[in-house]
Amino acid sequence: MLDRMIRAVRLDQRLFTEVFFDTAATGDAVLIVAAIYGVIYLALVVGSSLGFSVISFIGILLSGLIGWLVVSGGLWLAGTKVFEGSARGATVIRLTGFSHVPLVLLVVAPFVGSVLVDVIVAAAIIWFVAAIAVAARVLFDFDTRKSVGSALLAVALWWVVQSIGIGDGLASLIRFF
């Protein structure tokens, strides 16, 4: 699984194609999303005055998993309804799970000066969108324009839903930076 995570960070299209056909990778996707949010929370606890709370930790994990499903649903909607592609929901969920790996960049944010925090957060989000675009390319067999458009629409939906407090794990964590 670690090798797949490294390949996801590299935006390796062959990885996303491999995961597309590997139905057993759905469990790995769940573990990856939970691990990413867990590690970011723990880095925030270590790198700031925020104290560890089991309730907060579980809340961040659950919220991150809900956010992942929102991104997956947004990507499926954008890819199938807006850009008229086709893909199975379970496959979209699996590939967007692996697309979360670039968010691990947020682990360094609590340990850098305040000037760099915004740059790191922006870089992590851009990298995340790029990973979703690669997933969209594999999922829907789209060109770059449609892949990026689908990814941007999925992330936009995710931010809208987070702003009303549903699946706001990442938004909750970023507020502390």
Render pLDDT for 144-170 as a digit per residue (tens, 0 to 9): 999 999 999 999 998 888 888 776 666
**Chain segment 86-115, per-residue pLDDT in tens:** 999 999 999 999 999 999 999 998 888 778
Residue 10 phi/psi, 5° resolution? -80, -5
The string of pLDDT tens digits covering residues 2-31 is 999 999 999 999 999 999 999 999 999 999
What's the whole-model pTM score? 0.91
DSSP conformation letters of 143-163? -HHHHHHHHHHHHHHHHHHHH
